Amino acid sequence: MEKLLAVYVDHIDVWLPEMLFFSITTLEIAIVSFVLAVAIGLVLVMLRVSKISPLVTLAILIIEVARGLPIVVLLYIVYFVPPQLVSGWNWSWYNAFVGAVLGLGIHGGAILAEVFRAGIEALHKGQREAALSLGMTPAKSMRYILVPQAARIVLPPVANYGIGLLKETSLCSLIGVNELMNDAKSIAFADYEPMAVFLLAAAIYFAMSYPLALILRHVEKRLNFSR
Amino acid sequence: MEPLLKVDDLHKAYGALKILNGVSVNVKRGEKVSIIGPSGSGKTTFLRCINFLEKPTSGHIFVEGKLIGEKTVSGKFVHVSDTELAKDRQEIGFVFQRFNLFPHLSVLGNVTIAQTKVLGLSQRDAEARGRQMLEKVGLGHKVDEYPERLSGGQQQRVAIARVLAMQPKLILFDEATSALDPELIGEVLRVMRQLAEEGRTMVIVTHEIQFAAEISDRIIFMDHGAVVEEGSPAKVLKDPQHPRTREFLKRIEQR
Ligand SMILES: Nc1ncnc2c1ncn2[C@@H]1O[C@H](COP(=O)(O)OP(=O)(O)OP(=O)(O)O)[C@@H](O)[C@H]1O
Ligand SMILES: [Mg+2]
């Protein structure tokens, strides 16, 4: 224990600023892939509930495959396969960051599509009819009646997914994105202090995700129908 | 005088399954018409067609002479846009068997949302009118409650207040009491009776024959998607002419 403290005393002034700097990349990956996942999830769920059978099949296929693969495998495929498949193009823009957010975005989109579907299916058909019978257009019934109800069902799992995503970004180190985990690995092996470095990385991940989890718990309580 | 509601030769089929086979009904302003009939005879479908929750296969609906859900373009009937249909529906209140209150809104929210978002009233005016309607159904003290905390009878009364707040020309009731525990039926029927006494135009689908007899100007007996017999309560209920009506009434009495 004392030895560990001594290590931190020696190195923290270098390690911490550097790791915090790379935590920014971690946050960037998380935010961009979260937005992407929500967008992809919305598109997939629209296909999924479209009642147009080829589109439904396509959506199910994408959802099942993307959810069925280990995230790391998906990341490798998304990052390495397209440039090899279409070799004529200029792929210089397709760096590890882009591959990472695409891979996480597709995986998250598949997860969120199912979450959104649960939200849609929980809506009672009578709700829409009640809204229409009061003179609302379908668009207004969506906006004022259906979406707010679905949001109450969908928001907690979506937020949970977002918090989980923050931790999953560490997998992106495997395709070479320079984020917190990758930086921790390189420091750990450069300074021969894996335990101290990885514990510090763990603390930073925890410090980023735990407050979010607390906020979520608080919001969830307030989202209940009857206050 | 022109009827307030005119239903002209209404047909409804789901594929090959015919549900309504040419129903024509006129309802005068202020008239209370009850529709009775066996389960599956098409009563709900008939009401739903009136405000186009179901699109009729053929036939037309008029409220004060104006076509509902359709318009004529060079002599042909065509469906109107969503916006126009929504406008038509404002005139027609619908009380559902299962209440269909909005669970994410308070009681007051339920009776104000359409006033503000459809009629364009200010929040203040909508709340004033909403409170007034809730008073009327005896729920003035529940404005801040959420639907899930109300009994079925209270929920249905909120649903009625929600309809009243839109000031419709006509109110359709689809078995407003059949989802309720027996001890809660009375409070809803009381509100409906009060509306009837105010001279509102009401079309009521109900299994409460006694209630229908008391408040209706006219009873319509429907079977197999058609009007079998209609007339004053005394005539249809006490002296039914058609054997199917007689059989139906006998079956109900036995319960
Ligand atoms: N969307 C639909 N698709 C196919 N059939 C339907 C649909 N809606 C209703 N039906 C059928 O239409 C028939 C009439 O139904 P409806 O609900 O209008 O009867 P009802 O007179 O209201 O009966 P109840 O007294 O049980 O409420 C029933 O046989 C029902 O199964
Ligand atoms: Mg019915």
**Residue B198 or A3, more confident:** B198
* Residue A135 C-alpha, separation from nearest chain B C-alpha, in angstroms: 4
Selecting from B96, B118, B148 the residue whose C-beta is nearest the C-beta of A135 gives: B118
Confidence of residue A195 (pLDDT cuts 50, 70, 90): confident
Cα distance between residue B225 and residue B236, in whole Å: 18
B59: DSSP letter: E
CA closest to B49 among chain A residues: A133
- Chain A residues in contact with B117 (beta carbon < 8 A): 136, 140, 144
CB A166 within 8 A of CB A212: yes
Token representation of residue B143: 């404005």
CA of B209 to the centre of ligand 1 (A): 20
Q: Phi-psi bin for A154: left (phi > 0), alpha (psi -120 to 50), beta?
A: alpha
Q: Whose CA is nearest to atom 30 of ligand 1?
A: B40
pTM of the model: 0.83
The bound ligand whose nearest atom lies closest to the alpha carbon of B174 is 2
- Chain A residues in contact with B92 (beta carbon < 8 A): 133
**Predicted local distance difference test score (pLDDT) of residue A2:** 81
- Chain B residues in contact with A140 (beta carbon < 8 A): 86, 117-118
CB-based contact, A225 to chain B, within 8 Å:
yes
Token representation of residue B152: 């079925």
**Predicted local distance difference test score (pLDDT) of residue A3:** 84
B66-67/B58-63 β-pairing: antiparallel
**Predicted local distance difference test score (pLDDT) of residue A225:** 46
Best A128, A132, A134, A153 residue to mutate vs chain B (most B CBs within 10 Å) = A134
Reported ipTM exceeds the 0.90 cut: yes
Arithmetic mean of pLDDT over chain A: 89
**Predicted local distance difference test score (pLDDT) of residue A29:** 94
CA distance from start to end of chain A: 48
Selecting from A132, A137, A144 the residue whose C-beta is nearest the C-beta of B113 gives: A144
- Chain B residues in contact with A144 (beta carbon < 8 A): 113, 117
Ligand 1 shell residues, CB under 6 Å? B 14, 17, 19, 37, 39-45
- With 80 as the cut, is the pLDDT of residue A226 above it? no
**Predicted local distance difference test score (pLDDT) of residue B166:** 97
Token representation of residue A219: 């919001």
Collect the ranges in chain B with pLDDT lower than 70. 255
CA of B89 to the centre of ligand 1 (A): 22
CB-based contact, A135 to chain B, within 8 Å:
yes
Q: Give A111-131 as a DSSP string.
A: HHHHHHHHHHHTS-HHHHHHH
B16: Cα separation from own chain's centroid: 27
CB-based contact, A93 to chain B, within 8 Å:
no
Domains contained in chain A, CATH given: 2-226 (1.10.3720.10)
**For A25-50, how does the pLDDT look when each residue is reduced to its tens digit (9 = 90+)?**
999 999 999 999 999 999 999 999 88
Among B206, B154, B104, which Cα is nearest to A131's? B104
**Predicted local distance difference test score (pLDDT) of residue A207:** 93
Give all strands (DSSP E) within chain B, no chain letters.
5-14, 17-27, 32-36, 58-63, 66-67, 70-73, 76-79, 92-95, 170-174, 202-205, 218-223, 226-231
Token representation of residue A131: 């809204």
Average pLDDT over residues A143-153: 90
Confidence of residue A227 (pLDDT cuts 50, 70, 90): very low
Confidence of residue A224 (pLDDT cuts 50, 70, 90): low
CA of A115 to the centre of ligand 1 (A): 32
Q: Give A69-102 as a DSSP string.
A: S-HHHHHHHHHHHHHHHSTTS--TT--HHHHHHH
Token representation of residue A196: 């101290």
**For A87-112, how does the pLDDT look when each residue is reduced to its tens digit (9 = 90+)?**
888 888 888 899 999 999 999 999 99
Selecting from A132, A139, A149 the residue whose C-beta is nearest the C-beta of B89 gives: A132
